Structure formats: structure tokens, C-alpha cells
Chain A
Amino acid sequence: MRNTLGRVVFKMKNGKVKKFFKKLYRYRIFLLMLAPAIIYTLIFSYYPMTGIVLAFKKYTYKGGIWGSAWNGFENFKFFFQSGQAWTVTRNTVLYNIMFIIVGTFTQVAVAVFLTEISNSRFRKLTQSMMFLPYFISWVIVGVMAFNIFSSDYGFMNRIITFFGGEKITFYTKPQYWPFIILFFNIWKGVGYGSVMYLAAIMGIDTSVYEAAAIDGANVFQRIFRVTIPMIMPTVIILFLMSVGGIFRGNFDMFYNLVGNNGLLFNYTDVIDTLTMRALISSNNFGMASAIGLFQSVLCFITVLIANKLVSLYDKDYTLF
């Protein structure tokens, strides 16, 4: 009895293995085509994941990832006790909340107004102008910010003094920077972001507008009762997706606008800039990886939550 059972299990296993190899052979060309991408992803994405053990080690150059000694939660302790943990996490989240709310609002408004503009030349020209910032690097944006906010030659101080005000040394006054950073974030993303909402508006059935017109809706009713409700699904999906990235700071932007200007850090330091400083300036690999892991875990959780919310809202849009 036991013997036959064993044989059956063996046979089943054998069958499965055989089937697997059969498929392996059948898919050999597919697998060959996938091979470069698989190897790349293993090396550049999956292998670094094992490096998170560094967060629990005292990194030495000689020891590398595997040879360095363990030091438990020392790196995390250092990070949390330095007082920076709370500041950078708060800044990252608050900035992202601001970007999401103001960004969504501006992009939707631009999309709605653009579709209402009947002069196609004006529409195309303004849309192109808004798209322009998307194409340049943050390095160039950093130069532009200096043009506007430098205390001696900046355009902003020119305006302020023109109206009889006192010059402001923006690069030493952190309280202005949330607004400056918000401005450039919106500035760079408005053309790019509004395209998605424009596409959603273009997808609305024109018969809905005709029906609204027949019912005597004025243009404002048309916008608030037809256009906005009809693009709400897109707005909500994109909103939830950006909520998934709420613990991710845009290093490119913060570093080029603020740089290593310590005077501003209290208002401008985000998780990503702190990690990079720990890595590059102070060579504190242990703390940098502790912060990195802290962020990766938070990001992972928020993405899962956001995705769950998206799936509750509309199953078709779930990412996995």
C-alpha cells in the first residue's frame, strides 16, 4: 500500500519534472529572448536587495557587504536618535502631499480650460510652452532658480525692491523654500501631467455634452456637472498611484534646488537627500543603508495599500 503510494507520488513528480523540461525546451527561444533582461534584472535589481543586510552591519571597506561585522540595530538607533529621522520623514511626506494636491488641481484645471479654448493656435502654443520644462534636466532648473532667487542679482529681489521692499536673502531663509520647491515641482510637471487628463476629457462621449446643452446647462454647469465627474475615475486612479510614492523624495529636484546648503535643511531635507549625504559626504554606509531600508519598507507598504485602494475603486486599474 505504502509502496504503491510512493510510486504514484514519484510518478507524479516525475511527470511534473518531465513536463517542466518539455516546456523549457518548447520555450527555449522565448527564454533566449528574455535572457538579457532577466540577467540584467537579477544583477541590477535582485542582487542589490540582498545588500539590505548592510543596514544591520558595521560596514568596512575591507569587509564589504558580506565580511563586515554585524552590529544589530545600531545604524537604526543612530538614525532615529540623531533627530533627523523625524525631520526628513515629515518633510518628505508633507512635500509629497503638497505636490499631489496642488499638482492635481493645476493639471486638471489646465486640461479643462485647454479643451474649452476654441482658438486652436492659442491652445497648441500654450500647451507646448507648458510642456517645455518637462524636457530639461533639474540641473538647468537649478540655474533658473538661482536666476530668480539669488539675493544680489535675483529677479525676485528686483521686483521686491521695485515695490519698495527690502531684499530677501532666500538662500539663508528656509521658510520660503517649501513654496519655491512647490513652484518648481508644479512648473516642471504641469504640461506632462495635464496630458493624461486631456486624454480623459477627449474620451468623453460628445452626446453627453449635447444632452447637457439641450437640458439648458450653461458652460460652468457643463464643466462641473459633466467634464469633472466624467474624468473623476482618472483623477482618483492617478491620485492613489501618487499616494503610493509618498515616502519617495525626488533627489534630482531637492539636490539641484537646495544642494548642500545646510541652512535650509530643516525645511528642505528629505529622506533621499539625507541618504545621499550619509553615503557621499560622510561615507557612513551603515546609516545610509539603514535609512534606505526604512524608506524601502515604507514605500513597499504604501504602494501595496494604494494598489489595494485602486482595486477597491476599479479592478481594471490594479497594477498586479
Chain B
Amino acid sequence: MANNSPAIKIKRGRDVIILNIIAYSFTGLIALLCLVPFLMVLAGSFSSEEAIIQNGFNILPQDFSLEAYKTVFKEPMVVIQAYATTIGLTAVGTLFGLLLQTMTAYVLSRKDFEWRNFFSFFFYFTTLFSGGVVPYFILITRTLGLKDSYFALLLPLIFSVYNLLIMKSYISAIPDSLVDAAKIDGCGEFRTLFQVVMPLIKPALATVGLFIALAYWNDWYNAMLYITDKHSEKYPLQYFLYKQVNNIEAYKKLIANNAISSSVVSSMSLPTNTLKMALTIVVTGPIILAFPIVQKYFVQGITIGAVKG
């Protein structure tokens, strides 16, 4: 950071070299450790089953085989179904979640709303104390009767106080005079929110929207609790992966029975370990591809979240 200042350049001695060695090797090592498990899954997915059985998993592929991917795509419908569920939930959840959070944050950041502290505490208190997992489970399954319903996957993640706080800190940064000016011009509250405030907080919408989207995309917990095996067609992506990886024999049977190809396949002949890896890659792929685009929004959100708690 201060490396550019002339005073440092004069002193560029042994200490700088030592620090550089430590800094480069430390961050390089940690970054490599972060990447290795990904490489292992990738290499495993492109290996042949025999190579894995013989040598175990490795960072680099030991041979090249598309057998595992071919097996996944022998019965693509279940994967596509899980993708459709997750994409649908993520889209609907992010849209409504964002609307809900923005609207609430807007009211709570209005200084002429004298009850805003009361309501802020009303929301904030729920992060301090909760009834726990059992009453929540009974609420969803019995009181609301949402067992095996998509709503059981949608509702639990749609509103979060942490996202509300991030949103509130963004909206609070908008000068009051802008809102006042809109009111003088005869804007109602809804119009002020949608036409004046929202365009000003586009980065916040992106950040909070991505936080919500990631929560939906990675959710398996709610499916585990609220979607029974009888309705496995409603599994979202991550829970689908969880189920197949933990019961790979059942998945192999499913593929063998439903295989599109005319040739009769026995589940015994299908790969096991590489199939798990290929399925994991098929499920992880899109998020890794989207990662370079969305990373900066997350960095922004975390920084704000850290400052405002």
C-alpha cells in the first residue's frame, strides 16, 4: 500500500524481501488450499471408475473418461427438475424478498416516522431470541400445513433482519432533501420509494439481492425438514445432490431403470465414485461461472454489514 512512496523505496532492503517472501507464500498457500478440493472433485469427475478404485482421488485426473457425465445424462430429467425448482424458488424468493426488505428498510430509515425505533427493535429482537427449531417445525408442518409445499422452501428465507440492516444503512445514506423534494413535488410514499429511492440504491439492490439468491440457491436444510421422500420431485438442487450422494445406489438404480438409451443397463455396471463427482460438478458449475461477476457485490455487502452489524 505505501510501497509507492519514495521514502519506502530508499529503504527497500532485506526486510522488504523477507516480507514479500512470507506474504506471497502465505497467501499463495491459503489460496491454493482453497482451490484444491474443487480441483479434486473436477479431476474425479473426469476420471474412470477403475482409476479411482485403484489409486483413489487425486488433484489431477489420472486418465480421461466421460463415463460419469454420460451416466448423469442418461437420466437428465431428475437433474433438470431439481434445477427448475431451485431456479424458480431463487427467482421468486429474491424478487419478493428484495421488495419486502426494501420497503421495510425505507420506512425504518424515514426520520419523520416517530415509531421507527420501536419497529426496528421489534425486528431486531428476533435475532436475539427465538423459539428454536421445534416450534418453527410445528408452525410450518402443522399450523400452516406446508409440509411438501413449495411455500415451505420459499417462506423461511424470504425475510432476514441482517439483510434489512444492510439495506437500511444504504437507504439512510440518501440525503433527506431528495426525499423531501419528491414529496413537495407531490410524490406519494410508494412513488418516492420506487422512482426516487430505488434508482439511487441499485448497488444495494444488487448486493442484498445476491445475498438472498445465494441463500436460496444453497438451501438444503428446509427441504430436509419439510419435503418428504414421497415428493422427491420437489427437491431443490442441493438437497437433490445430498440425497443422491448419500444414497448413490438408489440413484444408480433410478438411472438404470429410466435410462433413455435403448440398451438395457444394469445399475451394477454404472460408476459410483466418479458419478458422485460428476453430479457435484453439474450442480456447482453455474455458481462457479457466475462467481467472477457477483464477487464484488458480496465484498461491498460484507463491508457494509461489518460496519453496521
Contacts and interface: CB of A to CB of B under 8 A. Distances in A.
Nearest to B241: A139
Contacts of B245: 139, 142-143
A116 B40 contact: no
Contacts of A209: 1-2, 5
Given A210-B5, A213-B2, A155 B136 contact: no
Given A44-B155, A132-B38, A148-B40, A49 B135 contact: yes
Given A54-B135, A279-B133, A40 B159 contact: yes
B41 to A, nearest CB: 6
B34 A129 contact: yes
Interface string B271-307: 0010011001001100110011001001100110011
Between A37, A65, A157, A303, the greatest number of chain B beta carbons within 10 A of the residue's beta carbon is seen for: A37
Interface string A284-305: 0100110011011001100110
B133 A219 contact: no
A158 B41 CA distance: 16
A29 interface: yes
A128 interface: yes
Contacts of B23: 113-114, 116-117
A38 B104 CA distance: 9
Contacts of A206: 1-2, 5
A114 B1 CA distance: 10
A118 B3 contact: yes
A241 interface: yes
B230 interface: no
A142 B243 CA distance: 12
A43 B140 CA distance: 10
B208 to A, nearest CB: 14
Nearest to B129: A300
Contacts of B276: 143, 146
Interface in B24-80: 24, 26-28, 30-35, 37-38, 40-41, 44, 52-53, 55-59
Nearest to B193: A33
Nearest to A158: B56
A127 B129 CA distance: 35
Given A34-B107, A113-B22, A279 B134 contact: yes
Given A34-B107, A106-B30, A296-B131, A219 B273 contact: no
Given A38-B122, A219-B19, A252-B221, A137 B238 contact: yes
B298 to A, nearest CB: 7
A140 interface: yes
A196 B305 CA distance: 9
B246 interface: yes
A49 B135 CA distance: 7
A40 B100 contact: yes
A26 B44 CA distance: 64
Secondary structure dominating the interface of A? helix
Interface in B1-24: 1-3, 5, 7-8, 11, 13, 15-16, 19-20, 22-24
The B contact surface, by secondary structure, is helix
Contact of B35 (A54, A129, A136, A140): A129
Nearest to A183: B33
Interface stretch (B113-121, B172-180, B198-206, B249-257): B113-121
A47 B239 CA distance: 28
Nearest to A218: B15
A4 interface: no
A37 B57 contact: no
B15 A135 contact: no
B249 to A, nearest CB: 15
A143 to B, nearest CB: 5
Interface in A196-220: 196, 199, 201, 206, 209-210, 213-214, 216, 218-220
Contacts of B34: 129-130, 132-133, 187, 190-191
A154 interface: yes
A214 B7 contact: yes
B142 interface: yes
B265 interface: no
Nearest to A133: B34
B87 interface: no
Interface in B147-177: 155-156, 158-159, 164
Nearest to B139: A48
A74 to B, nearest CB: 16
13 contacts: A33-B104, A33-B106, A33-B193, A37-B101, A37-B104, A43-B139, A110-B26, A114-B23, A140-B280, A144-B38, A187-B37, A210-B2, A288-B133
Nearest 5 CB-CB pairings of A with B: A51-B135, A292-B132, A48-B131, A137-B218, A126-B31
Interface of B: 1-3, 5, 7-8, 11, 13, 15-16, 19-20, 22-24, 26-28, 30-35, 37-38, 40-41, 44, 52-53, 55-59, 100-101, 103-104, 106-108, 110, 113-115, 119, 121-124, 126, 128-139, 142-144, 155-156, 158-159, 164, 188-190, 193, 214, 217-221, 225, 238-239, 241-242, 245-246, 273, 276-277, 280, 283-284, 287-288, 291-292, 295, 298-299, 302-303, 306-307, 309
